[in-house]
Structure 1
């Protein structure tokens, strides 16, 4: 098996595992935040915290060992635009509340027959393409060039190193602080400690982030045919999947496309085997309108923020990149705004 083929197979397997875990556990940052803020139920949010803790520890371990060079990834580029990333995160966070789920959750639900998610997934892909390469791309690039900066440090370990700690010590300290705080938050709640399914989902999805880095940064490492090191993300991959479906004769399969197809396959297979598969549609025209606006905001916002609640919230933060913290702050801020304004309405159309 040639190396690119191995990457595609592993990418599909990672996506399928995410689809299974996502469907069985309801893993979703938006649902976790909404339940935590409106129902005093923090189990899903704490599961997300476990996933992030595992992703940070595992990613920093393979980076520290030199197995994967995450320094060349999208998240640790020397220049970035904080206003663009924050605004994109804000749009994505608001959009996932309006659509009642983030991009990854929509893809998982599509696998179980949720036709509302078909519209959401399709519009996320179209809006992302328009923002990345289409009509909105010149404005995005102009704003990027106007606001981008090149700070001396773009990650938490680098900042700690500048404070006088050695490189290895700074990396270990950053991991212990970040992962330790996340795990302490997660397991401080008795109801979460009694939810083995949510704990397992967090661990599995965190490990899938690490597996994604290994797939692209180790198994996909080839000086003659390099594959950019990356891991789980769903906005740009959905855009790439749409483009591949339309123009597959002139394109090649990528990690993101195989990942998205794997999530759909894993979710659909699990739904069929467990009797969860059921066709669902919109309940009203306003419901469809909210989902449409939310999907467009997620597609454009995710493109501007270089990732979604998984792409930046797990994969980006696993690198401890400062831009990822900015993006996640925007996502959480947008979600808070949306939940405060639209939570009663969204509750009428829960999935």
Structure 2
């Protein structure tokens, strides 16, 4: 393994470690954010998530605009994609996230805290994702994509604006600035959030970590002879790859995603031990385990179809301003809302 690849793996471990620590201390999670927002009138977590998106977009687009990173090499900015499959995958992922009480990244964080329910979620998610990527479910997924994919010249918001006349640089600035300002206004319009330095810090740090991932893989990992895939924080395929690596390490190679997964677990574990939050927990009943495992399977299948999770598409994909990422995120939000209303019987309250 050459030095650039080693640097990428080390950086992935560090990024994951920080995310794991922040995730444990702040409770950063889209499902928890939406449940608090809809059921309890507590908008702090959802505004922390919005702030993370804003920071991720701003920092990532600065990297792209300066030429430091070519986001066009990522999986999100493809000329051909299937909007129906992305949306359906998002729906399945969002609904499964509710059944499992958290996404894949949240499961890794809780596992580090001693939550053994999350161990089942991680394993089932990994198996279902691998089946959808390369196993029994893969032919059906590929057939759906081939039947519904379209090839477009405008695959991102900046390219859509550029088609109307502005230059590429101006279109990038307008698209990024519009979304970033709207998200920041939404976040800081909430008085309680403004008085929550921990949640503000969590949103900023997670957003910076997304941009850091792009920088690590797109700039530090750039090598004409042994290029590293340009990616950042995402957890569905990396969790699947991590399980496969644990079983077949002699025939596989470490990558940024696997290192990030290991880092998240290590960061959460270290933080839980240091703060006295480590506690072994299990399922309360077989019914609880069945629901959690079913949700993990839906997350694995849906996450592969959607090209990512609430972090992989909701933050990393959206930071590229790819149109497909907004489609997938819409599916995730709708699926999560349906799960909260249907499974957990959450009823909207007045927002505090």
Query: Given the two structures, how large is their TM-score scaled by the length of structure 2?
Result: 0.97
The reply to whether residue 226 of structure 1 matches residue 236 of structure 2 is no
Number of the residue aligned with 2:204: 203
Residue 344 of structure 1: how far off its partner (Å)? 4.2
Q: Distance in 1 between matches of 2:87 and 2:3?
A: 40
Number of the residue aligned with 1:44: 45
Alignment of 1:111-260 (within 5 A): 111-260=112-261
Residue 98 of structure 1: how far off its partner (Å)? 0.6
Number of the residue aligned with 2:294: 293
Residue 331 of structure 1: how far off its partner (Å)? 0.2
Residue 329 of structure 1: how far off its partner (Å)? 0.4
Number of the residue aligned with 1:34: 35
Q: Distance in 2 between matches of 1:142 and 1:223?
A: 34
Q: Distance in 2 between matches of 1:126 and 1:216?
A: 26
Q: Deviations over 1:116-148 (max 9, x none)?
A: 000001111000000000001011111111111
Number of the residue aligned with 2:6: 5
Q: Distance in 2 between matches of 1:257 and 1:247?
A: 13
* C-alpha RMSD of the superposition: 0.8
Q: Distance in 2 between matches of 1:17 and 1:172?
A: 29
More displaced stretch, 42-51 vs 161-170: 161-170
Number of the residue aligned with 1:348: none
The reply to whether residue 331 of structure 1 matches residue 337 of structure 2 is no
Q: Distance in 2 between matches of 1:214 and 1:126?
A: 30
Q: Deviations over 1:83-117 (max 9, x none)?
A: 11110000000000010101110110000000000
Q: Distance in 2 between matches of 1:333 and 1:54?
A: 23
Stretches of structure 2 lacking an aligned partner (at least 5 in a row): 347-352
* 1:75 aligned counterpart, secondary structure: coil
Residue 152 of structure 1: how far off its partner (Å)? 1.8
Q: Distance in 2 between matches of 1:287 and 1:149?
A: 40
* 2:80 aligned counterpart, secondary structure: coil
Runs of 4+ in 1 over 2 A off after TM superposition: none
Q: Distance in 2 between matches of 1:148 and 1:342?
A: 32
Q: Deviations over 1:179-232 (max 9, x none)?
A: 000000000000000000000000000000000001100011001001110000
Residue 247 of structure 1: how far off its partner (Å)? 0.4
* 1:222 aligned counterpart, secondary structure: coil
Residue 165 of structure 1: how far off its partner (Å)? 1.2
Q: Distance in 1 between matches of 2:123 and 2:27?
A: 21
The reply to whether residue 96 of structure 1 matches residue 97 of structure 2 is yes
Q: How many residues align?
A: 345
Number of the residue aligned with 1:67: 68
Q: Distance in 2 between matches of 1:35 and 1:5?
A: 40
Number of the residue aligned with 1:56: 57
Number of the residue aligned with 1:87: 88
